Chain A
Amino acid sequence: MKTPLEVINLSKVYNNINAVKDISFKVNRNEIIGILGPNGCGKTTTIGMILGLLKPTNGKALINGIDIETNRVNLLDNLNFISPYIELPKKLTVKQNLEVYGRLYDVKNLKTKIEYLSDKLRLQDIINKITGELSSGQKNRVSLAKSIINDPTVLLLDEPTASLDPETGDFIRSFLENYQKERETSILLASHNMNEVERLCSSVLMMNKGSIIDQGKPADLIKKHGRKNMEEVFLKLSREKNES
């Protein structure tokens, strides 16, 4: 079986700045890999290249063994993405948004699918509400519903619980854990929440200034760097790299 997501020697140069420098990693089936690093370290650029939104300067992002650059539109059927920096059309109701994206992804039995998502993500009470009028926690659940409407084999999550209250954040994390086990989805998770990373990720990539500076299981990284938790590891690696 082909690896759902494999990045090989990926680089991106914009305006003579090396935003991503020759990075390689894999996300296997039924695995959540965390991608961590300070703002501007190249996480979003990496995700952009995996999604085909950005053309790599060098290297490849393979989805199920196929380069996204060679068959972008067909491969996008297998991918989806959620980010606090992108939203769904505000003037549409939740149901209308899910219908629109269900049709864009050519989802079969769309009505049943929306009912399933509505049930799993507690959308029943807001399904006919205008998306722009929802709270940030509700919007987040709707965006998550959109991001799994096509049952992606590879799901890219950029800070999926940013600015959420602890209860909603925990609900989203529990949902992702169960969903990933149930569907055996490969997930790449970019997050600044180290507790979230420790809880969800089987392995972590630490990025700084466009490069992967360390990687491994959260417990191994904590042990290797002689720290108490991932937050301390994150701070140590970020500061070391900035000083060097």
Chain B
Amino acid sequence: MYGLFLRHFYLIKSSLPRIMDLIYWPTIQIILWGFISKFFSLYSNYYNDTLGVILTCAILYDILFRSSISFNMLFLEEIWSRNFTNLFIAPLKIKEIIVSLIFTALIRTLIGLVPAIILTSPLFGVSILKLGFPLLLLFLSLYIFGITLGLFVSAGLLRFGPSFENIAWSSLFLLAPLGCIYYPLEILPNFFQIIAKGLPLVYIFDETRNILLNSSLDYENLKQAYILNLIYLALGIGLFYFAFIRARIKGTLINMGE
């Protein structure tokens, strides 16, 4: 029994990502629901159609969640099946790996989301299709950001190996409180507002609420989201290349173990 304890203790002790994972979940959950509670207690009359807005935002957030997780899963599955090395000795350019992951992640995302979108209408009388044409722009923006997060996490997996795996699952929840998915930016304390303004999510979800509540479309929000998306995507791609170079120096590509 002590031996088994030591086996896990040594594993955790030697891995910063695993330690962070232990601290991470409780903190994020408390922050997220704290902000939601605060919003409802202060602005109980804000929504005429609270359920519809929340469900629409939840589904849109799931686009981000699914696209990012799909991207990460594709990468993780290669590690779990011990196929990782085979992939990197095949004559594939890094950009080909990235592009194939992006498209495969899109298919995985759609497979996961379409049933959810179809079910919300008969179950709750809510359909995100009510957003109309802007839905396509919002979807694309969320998908790009999801892929970008996937690139950041996959770069971490390349660089640090499977010990970075838990970050893959938790990366999305870090952004949930700051992304202002279920409440407006003003709900956040001033310091967090400054950080949140650097995330495309704030503009995407602000615009979603604007469309649903005011039946109007503010292209400025979408423009802001796309500009930020492109900056982060370029950073994500750069980081993935950098992680590959570092992995070749450190030997991670042939030592994908604990």
Q: A residues within 8 Å of B by Cβ?
A: 14, 44-45, 48, 51-55, 73-74, 76-77, 79-81, 83, 85-91, 101, 104-106, 146
Q: In the complex, which residue of chain B has the Cβ closest to the Cβ of A106?
A: B91
Between A and B, how many residue pairs show CB distances below 8 Å?
A: 68
CB within 8 Å for A14 and B86 given contacts A89-B81, A105-B91: no
Interface segment, B27-35, B43-51, B138-146, B249-257? B249-257
Closest-by-CB residue of A relative to B88 is A53
What interface size band does chain B fall in? 20 to 34
Contact B82–A86 (Cβ < 8 Å): yes
Closest 10 CB pairs of A and B: A76-B91, A104-B90, A87-B82, A53-B253, A55-B248, A86-B85, A48-B254, A77-B91, A89-B81, A53-B254
CB distance from A31 to the nearest CB of B (A): 21
Segment 205-258 of B: residues with Cβ below 8 Å from A? 245, 248-251, 253-254
Q: Are A53 and B85 in contact (CB under 8 A)?
A: yes
Interface string of B97-137 (1 = CB under 8 A from A): 00000000000000000000000000000000000000000
Contacting pair A86 B83 (CB below 8 A): yes
Chain B residues 71 to 88 lying within 8 A of chain A, measured CB to CB, are 77-78, 81-86, 88
A101 to B87, CA, bound (A): 9
- Complex CA–CA separation, A53 to B245 (angstroms): 10
Complex-state Cα separation, A106 to B85, whole angstroms: 18
Q: Is the CB of A44 within 8 A of B254?
A: yes
For residue B250, which residues in chain A have a CB less than 8 angstroms away from its CB? 14
Q: Are the C-beta atoms of A55 and B249 separated by less than 8 Å?
A: yes
Q: Once the chains are docked, how many angstroms separate the CA of A54 from the CA of B251?
A: 6
**Distance of B244 from chain A, by nearest CB (Å):** 10
A83 & B85 in contact (Cβ 8 Å cutoff): yes
